[in-house]
A and B are shown apart, each in its own frame.
Chain A
Amino acid sequence: MTLLLRGELLKLRTTRTFVALVGAALALSLLVVVLSTLLSDEFAPGDAATLFTADFTGLFIMLLGVIGMAGEWRHHTITGTILAAPDRLRLMAAKMLAYAAAGVLLSLIVTVTIMLVGTIILSSRGFDTVAFSDLLDILWRNLLVAALLGALGVGVGALIRNQIVAIIGVLIFGFVIEPALFSLVPDVGRYGPTAGAPSGIIDVNPFGESDDEDVLLAPGLAVLVMLGWIAVFFAAAGVRLRSRDLV
């Protein structure tokens, strides 16, 4: 498993897609933080803490996971990959772990960067900054969400092998269906895999007012729900992958 994991991490590092998505995640997260800290006239420490959850790593690492797995079919590399690693379930597990690790690394870079830049701007404008212990609290939550969404992306890509359909599906689900569900039926929406449960882990409601936070799942339960989603996709994709003839 260690060799497979190292191989998958090397795969990640040796294409331009990874570098492009790291750049995009960093640029987008920085844009939000810089504009918000520069343009707002009032800034309470709580607002800043919420702003530092604006780490777009989760979205990008999930898309990267989808691309990494579904891309094996798109580029017809799945045959070579399975010849190198004949145990298909171990292969999928290694890919999930690799993208979870990549998510942690990516989120670490993005979160620390936006925290540094945001804190410098807030400090220069005379606003109160976020306490170090609170920054650490935000950091581990962001890292955890990125890791879980990276693994989930691999599961989605393994189940929906058409890369374009999988990417569009994730974007529609994450930006349209789940927010709508969260607004209309929050008791259901908070269990969602792309926004509901991740918001519970971060403990920030991205769809409502700050006093709506009690609709979110408790962080521990949200982690379990995310692990459940990953397990469901792993099982469904695993059954399909193992039974499929590669002709």
Chain B
Amino acid sequence: MAPVEVRDLSKRFGSVLAVNNLSFDIEAGRVTGFLGPNGAGKSTTLRALLGLVRPTTGTATFGGLRYEELERPSEQVGAVLEDASFHPGRTARNHLRVLAVIGDHPFERVDAVLEDVGLTEAADRRAGGFSMGMKQRLGIAAALLGDPEVLILDEPTNGLDPPGIAWMRGVVREQASRGRAVLISSHLLAEVAQSVDDVVVIARGELRGQGTLEAVLGGDEGLSTLVRAQDNDRLVRALRAAGHTVQSLGDGLLVPGVSPEQVGVVAGDAGIYLVHLAAQARSLEQAFFALTGEPTT
């Protein structure tokens, strides 16, 4: 049984279907990127997983148990959500001490996680005066307090500076190396591509791809063709009729997974004059956009 299992999960808010029949697993010892554009349903899925949102249908479980059924949740799941906040008048140390008491963890763990996230010197400062980066670090410290089997991070790089992003990458890789399952959501592929092993890609609440990063999005060596015709609209129709995917890219067209020769044959057969034809390595972003239907320009 996978540490995290999402099965046929749907969530409807009034007339809006935020998540539609979503199923995926997260494996131990791996970092899984949960990717999709803003509004794709990532946060809703994570909140359903954490028992904060009630699924309309389907289940989201940890080792077969819903979050609210976990005996000692902080030892099984650590989570940092996008809107994680702290009482502004409480110090970082006291915030963690409250969580330590509720989770039945010794106060020594508080000092340990404060050191792990580099907040020892700021431990007795009130959280209301913390920068965004310090709040993210405090959130991570809270999530790590119970040394959980599963770590869930919702858009963890938001508001972080480059050193902060690098630090975050180190944290997730270190957790995975210790056998923890890490699920990290982001709408920015570039910020997580270097740290994830697997990806789950969603858009408009639906699963668009799941597997290793290479299997789902391909490498940066993936072949594509960049083409521009006198009549781009006719060429799009011809390429689509030939079974190819076409994306708009500037004033030209990107045809993923197809060589320039193949594109030239389609154009020649349709009697379309080309003004530019070149091979182009497909980037991760372009593959991501192709999956999610986001514009590439």
Binding site for B on A (CB under 8 A): 3-4, 6-7, 10-11, 14-17, 71, 75-77, 79-80, 82-87, 243, 245-247
Contact = CB atoms under 8 A, between A and B. Distances in A.
10 contacts: A6-B102, A10-B94, A10-B98, A14-B97, A71-B87, A77-B86, A79-B83, A84-B74, A245-B53, A247-B53
B83 A76 contact: yes
A86 B67 contact: yes
B98 A11 contact: yes
Interface stretch (B23-31, B43-51, B192-200, B244-252): B43-51
Contacts of B44: 247
Interface string B62-106: 000001101001100001010111111111001001110111100
Contacts, number: 81
B151 interface: no
A14 B94 contact: yes
A110 to B, nearest CB: 23
Nearest to B86: A77
Interface of B: 13, 43-44, 47, 50-54, 67-68, 70, 73-74, 79, 81, 83-91, 94, 97-99, 101-104, 142
Contact of A79 (B52, B91, B101): B52
A80 B89 contact: no
Nearest to B94: A14
Contacts of A85: 102
A79 B127 CA distance: 16
Contact of B102 (A3, A16, A75, A77): A3
A119 to B, nearest CB: 36
Nearest to A7: B102
A80 B81 CA distance: 9
A86 B68 contact: yes
A79 B142 CA distance: 13
Centre residue among B54, B67, B102 by max chain A CB count within 10 A: B102
Contacts of A75: 85-88
Given A14-B94, A87-B68, A247-B53, A79 B103 contact: no
A71 B79 CA distance: 21
Nearest to A91: B102
Contacts of B85: 75-77, 79-80
Contacts of B52: 79, 82-83, 245-247
Nearest to B81: A79
A245 B47 CA distance: 9
A86 B89 contact: no
A10 B91 CA distance: 12
Contacts of B99: 7, 80, 84
A4 B102 contact: yes
B56 to A, nearest CB: 10
Nearest to A4: B102
Given A83-B50, A247-B47, 17 more contacts: A3-B104, A6-B101, A7-B99, A10-B98, A11-B87, A14-B97, A15-B87, A79-B83, A80-B85, A80-B86, A80-B142, A84-B99, A84-B102, A86-B73, A245-B13, A247-B13, A247-B53
Contact of A14 (B13, B51, B73, B90): B90
Centre residue among A17, A83, A243 by max chain B CB count within 10 A: A83
Nearest to B102: A7
Given A15-B89, A80-B142, A87-B68, A7 B98 contact: yes
B89 A16 contact: yes
A97 to B, nearest CB: 14
Contacts of B102: 3-4, 6-7, 84-85
Given A77-B85, A83-B73, A247-B47, A15 B104 contact: no
Nearest to B54: A245
Contacts of A86: 51, 67-68, 70, 73
A10 to B, nearest CB: 5
Contacts of A17: 89
Query: Lowest 4 A-B CB distances belong to which pairs?
Result: A76-B85, A7-B102, A14-B94, A86-B68
Given A17-B89, A84-B74, A245-B54, A7 B84 contact: no
Nearest to B50: A83
Contacts of A6: 101-102
Contacts of A7: 98-99, 101-102
